[in-house]
Amino acid sequence: MMFVIAAIIAAIVLVVFNNQQESKITNHLYTNDVQQIYLLTAAEFKINVLENRQQLNNTAVDLNTAPPNITAELDLLTTALESGEIPLNELNLRLDYLLDTLNINSSSMVQAY
């Protein structure tokens, strides 16, 4: 009698565990959306940093070095993304390249919230 009760309890536990595993599989479908949201947020943050740096370069002009004009490049990248010419991954890569050309590393991009 004890074995029958233990077998029924074990079967119920296995069914519940199986349902949890199946729900994890269906939740996995949303990870692509989360990655896209993360990439979009990172791109927005990089654009803000680049625009801020461009404004600083416009206000404090150094005669020894000519800072690159990134406003036109940012306009081209954002219109290309909006029209679907480049994917979000490539936009982030190009923004990283612009950040590298301006010598902006990740430590200078940190914001306090």
pLDDT in 10s for each residue of the chain, 113 residues: 888 899 999 999 999 988 887 766 565 566 667 788 888 899 999 888 888 887 776 665 554 555 566 788 888 888 998 898 989 889 899 988 888 887 776 555 555 33
C-alpha 102/C-alpha 68 separation (Å) is 8
Is the separation of the CB atoms in 98 and 108 below 8 Å? no
pLDDT at 106: 58
Using a cut of 0.75, tell me whether the model's pTM lies above it. no
pLDDT at 112: 37
- Burial class, 79, CB count within 10 angstroms (exposed 0-12 / middle 13-18 / buried 19+): exposed
pLDDT at 12: 94
Domain residue extents for the chain: 31-109
